[in-house]
Amino acid sequence: IRLELNVCRARALKVPIVRIPFDVNNNVWVIIQPLVWKLLARLLPNTPWSSYPDVVRFSHRNWYFTEKSDTAERFGRVWALVSPGNVHLQVSDPDVIRDMCSRWRDFSRPVQIYKMLAVYGPSVVTVGLQDWPRHRKAVATTFNESINQFVWDESLRQALSMTQYWTSPPSSAAIPDMEEDIRSLSLNVLAATAFREPYAFRGSTQLLQDSSNDNKNDKVNNTRTYRDALRVVNKHAIPLMLIPYRYLASPIPIIPQALARIGRAAVSLRGFLTSMVAAETEALNRGEAGSGGLMTHLVRSALDQETAHRIGFADDVKSASKKGLLSFDEILGNVFLINFAGHDTTAVTLSFAMMLLAARPDVQEWLHDEIVAVSGGRPVAEWDYHEMFPRLLRCRAVFLETLRLYAPIIGLPKLSSDKPQTLHVPGRDGDTLVVPPGSEIYPLLLCVQTDPKYWPDEPRKWKPARWITQEGGLLVPELGSYLPWADGPQGCPGKKFSQVEAVAVLAGLFGGHRVRVVPRRGESEQQARGRAQACADDVNYDLLLRMNHADGVRLQVVETEVDG
């Protein structure tokens, strides 16, 4: 009955409708659906996914990825996915998406689904419309060119250490855990950028060794440094979002040891952050420069200048809000958020890029030629950010193309305000769509990013070369047709940060090395590469888009042979 009531609501909008029996985000369905798909594959082996009826295809949580631009062809640029839970309007018109992103008050982010990210306090993604500009102003000022310069230097340093780890035994035969190593690298870059304090790279096997030594020495916490605490907190963010860390860390005996350990790491992280924020505040009060990291910029943009000498921060959220500043808890909330938003997004994209590059030695060659030409054979320690980053267009192309097809965030839900909102949608009656108050609307990023109208050259193929124009510059996609970092005032402030990190890592690695797939017994090199491509296309979307079985393809990094 609820499904049919929702169908009636959707019909009133005069848009094509696809019915599904469960809301794709329904918690029970999220948990049981992998089993359902496994069972289906077993019962009907070799049945192509495209031959299933819509009711099956659109009940899959990954339908954005599997359908790509087909929905625009079949249903047009605005249509509705209707379940007993809700009507989800789907939009794949670049102009309409940009219009919605710029009208952030009319089409806001549904903050209630991000509330759980407020582990240490409110942040730019958890507060309502009224407080959002205050948070955004403080967060946006932290991202500047001096930070990018540091990200470049640190990412190169980490990439060299990672390459050394990958080319030394035991990893030289095959990388034990490529995804985990790239996550470590990305975490080290973020941790170092916060306070301009570098950390040594530790590969997955070294981390296992560290943790077993800690257990032997009875160190229950393994959070000796800010980076270690951040690693545990980021890795176990989901339990921390569900249960307040104070409860996990409390000495209640019924709390399992594993959870208690996570709780203690969260308490340690708060302690590190508190003392670091205090140090930055004192430096400011003494008229000193501070560390110059992300944290210095955040503290300075959020600090209450009038009372800095006395208490450092506006006392509470209310007084901070009156002055347009951030309270202490809000600063901690935003530091956590920046770390959370900036860690896995870049790391999973780099992991996809590694897998795809392993499948395509020709693209590695293409990258290598550019890196050698731009660096002029100088050692990595002399690679200058301002001189090299703008010229490493092929490295940037690999990252941009990976984000086009494998964007880590593929759903950007919007909620229309409490008044009807009009959108200009060409081709509809009167070229308008009136969106009822409180409607959920989803811009279909992967649909526009694979639409042949905007990406005419084999849009579903991973082809980094499409980003290099005939004049040798970087392609500027048609407005609204490429949105992995979203768009408008609420778009990602870490866009350049992530590009600088990714380009440095790719240049640092592929300047002198190649990655290859280790073939299975009896498998040809060609078949092994096909397996790497298939692995990149076998994905799951939990918090981010990830490969299901990256560990099923063994990669090896080898030094590039010098000609002659």
For residue 484, the minimal CB distance to ligand HEM (Å) is 5
Residue 255 CB partners (closer than 8 Å, separation 6+): 247, 248, 263
For residue 347, the minimal CB distance to ligand HEM (Å) is 9
Angle between helices 328-359 and 257-285 (to 10 degrees): 110
Shorter beta-carbon distance to ligand HEM: residue 291 or 345: 345
Shorter beta-carbon distance to ligand HEM: residue 139 or 532: 139
Shorter beta-carbon distance to ligand HEM: residue 175 or 189: 189
Binding residues: 492
Q: Which residue minimizes CB distance to ligand HEM?
A: 494
Answer whether 165's CB lies under 8 Å from 182's CB: no
Residue carrying the six token digits 């409490």 = 418
Distances (CA, A) of 325 to 299, 319, 562: 10, 8, 56
Shorter beta-carbon distance to ligand HEM: residue 13 or 409: 409
What HEC string does 31-79 produce? Answer: HHHHHHHHHHHHHCCCCCHHHCCHHHHCCCCCHHHHHCCHHHHHHCCEE
Shorter beta-carbon distance to ligand HEM: residue 327 or 349: 349
**Distance from CA of residue 1 to its chain's centroid?**
38
Shorter beta-carbon distance to ligand HEM: residue 82 or 344: 344
For residue 349, the minimal CB distance to ligand HEM (Å) is 5
For residue 498, the minimal CB distance to ligand HEM (Å) is 4
Query: Cis peptide leading into 170, omega within 30 of 0?
Result: yes
For residue 238, the minimal CB distance to ligand HEM (Å) is 18
Q: Rounded distance, CA 559 to CA 561, Å?
A: 6
Structural tokens at position 392: 């490493």
Q: Rounded distance, CA 331 to CA 314, Å?
A: 11
Distances (CA, A) of 523 to 356, 516, 519, 520: 18, 14, 6, 5
Structural tokens at position 220: 């229950």
Shorter beta-carbon distance to ligand HEM: residue 338 or 532: 338
Structural tokens at position 442: 């989803």
For residue 109, the minimal CB distance to ligand HEM (Å) is 5
Shorter beta-carbon distance to ligand HEM: residue 134 or 236: 134
Give the interface with ligand HEM as residue ranges (CB under 6 A).
109, 124-125, 136, 139, 337-338, 341-342, 345-346, 349, 403, 407-409, 412, 484-486, 490, 492-494, 497-498
Answer whether 265's CB lies under 8 Å from 221's CB: yes
- Angle at CA of residue 58, ends 54 and 64, nearest 5°: 125
For residue 129, the minimal CB distance to ligand HEM (Å) is 12
Answer whether 179's CB lies under 8 Å from 550's CB: yes
Binding residues for heme: 492
What HEC string does 118-187 produce? Answer: CCCCCCCCCCCCCCHHHHHHHHHCCCCHHHHHHHHHHHHHHHHHHHHHHCCCCCCCCCCCHHHHHHHHHH
Q: Is 518 exposed, middle or buried (0-12, 13-18, 19+ CB in 10 A)?
A: middle
For residue 544, the minimal CB distance to ligand HEM (Å) is 9
Distances (CA, A) of 402 to 68, 537, 540: 15, 12, 16
For residue 325, the minimal CB distance to ligand HEM (Å) is 17
For residue 394, the minimal CB distance to ligand HEM (Å) is 18
Per DSSP, 418 falls in state S
Shorter beta-carbon distance to ligand HEM: residue 480 or 484: 484
**Side chain identity at residue 413, one-letter code:** P
Shorter beta-carbon distance to ligand HEM: residue 10 or 539: 539
